[in-house]
C-alpha cells in the first residue's frame, strides 16, 4: 500500500515538473498573442477581416449558423498573387501546389465557439485562405462551392 502511494506521489512530481517547464518555455518564447481575431461562420459565408497587420495572432472560430462548419486556414505560396488567390477561392478550392504543405482546421457545430484557437505569426505580404469543406449531406455540395471561402491579406 505504501509503495502504491509513493508511486502516486512520484507521478505527481513529474506532472508538476512538466507543467512548470512548459510554463517557463512559453514565457521565454515571448509575449502572448498581440491580437485575437474571430472568424464567424454562417450559411454559407465567413465573416473575418479582409486585411490584418503583421504580428502574432490567435484565430478563434464561432459558428453562428444552423449547420456544422469548419474553417481550414492555410497560407498561399508566395508566388500566388491576390488575384489568383481570389480566383482559386471563388472556384471553391486551391491546388496543393498553390499553398503551404501545412495548415490548420477549427470545427464548430451550430451555436458553438471552438474552444481551440489557431496561433499564427502573420508576416507582411502573406495571403491566408479560409475554406469550409463540409457538406450538409453526402450528395450536397461543399460549403466552399456555395461561397464559404475568404481571403485574409497581411499588410
First-last CA distance in the chain: 63
Q: Is 143 in the site for Cu ion (CB under 5 A)?
A: yes
Which residues within the stretch 67-126 sit at the binding site for Cu ion (CB under 5 A)? 69
Alpha carbon distances (Å) from 60 to 28, 36, 65, 75, 106: 24, 7, 16, 17, 8
**76-84, 99-107, 114-122, 132-140 -> range binding Cu ion (CB under 5 A):** 132-140
Which residues within the stretch 17-76 sit at the binding site for Cu ion (CB under 5 A)? 69
Burial classification of residue 138, based on how many CB atoms lie within 10 Å of its CB (0-12 exposed, 13-18 middle, 19 or more buried) = exposed
Among residues 39, 52, 85, 132, the one that binds Cu ion under rule CB under 5 A:
132
CB of 134 to Cu ion, least distance (A): 4
Q: Name the residue nearer to Cu ion (CB basis): 84 or 145.
A: 145
Q: 3-class SS at 15?
A: helix
Q: Which residues would be at the binding site for Cu ion (CB under 5 A)?
A: 69, 132, 134, 143, 148
Amino acid at each position: 500500500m505504501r509503495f502504491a502511494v509513493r508511486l502516486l506521489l512520484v507521478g505527481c512530481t513529474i506532472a508538476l515538473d512538466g507543467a512548470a517547464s512548459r510554463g517557463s518555455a512559453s514565457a521565454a518564447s515571448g509575449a502572448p498573442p498581440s491580437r485575437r481575431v474571430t472568424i464567424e461562420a454562417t450559411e454559407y459565408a465567413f465573416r473575418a477581416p479582409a486585411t490584418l497587420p503583421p504580428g502574432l495572432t490567435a484565430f478563434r472560430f464561432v459558428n453562428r449558423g444552423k449547420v456544422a462548419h469548419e474553417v481550414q486556414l492555410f497560407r498561399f505560396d508566395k508566388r500566388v498573387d491576390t488575384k489568383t488567390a481570389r480566383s482559386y477561392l471563388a472556384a471553391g478550392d486551391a491546388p496543393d501546389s498553390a499553398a503551404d504543405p501545412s495548415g490548420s482546421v477549427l470545427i464548430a457545430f451550430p451555436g458553438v465557439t471552438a474552444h481551440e484557437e489557431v496561433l499564427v505569426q502573420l508576416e507582411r505580404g502573406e495571403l491566408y485562405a479560409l475554406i469550409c469543406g463540409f457538406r450538409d449531406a453526402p450528395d450536397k455540395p461543399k460549403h466552399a462551392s456555395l461561397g464559404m471561402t475568404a481571403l485574409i491579406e497581411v499588410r
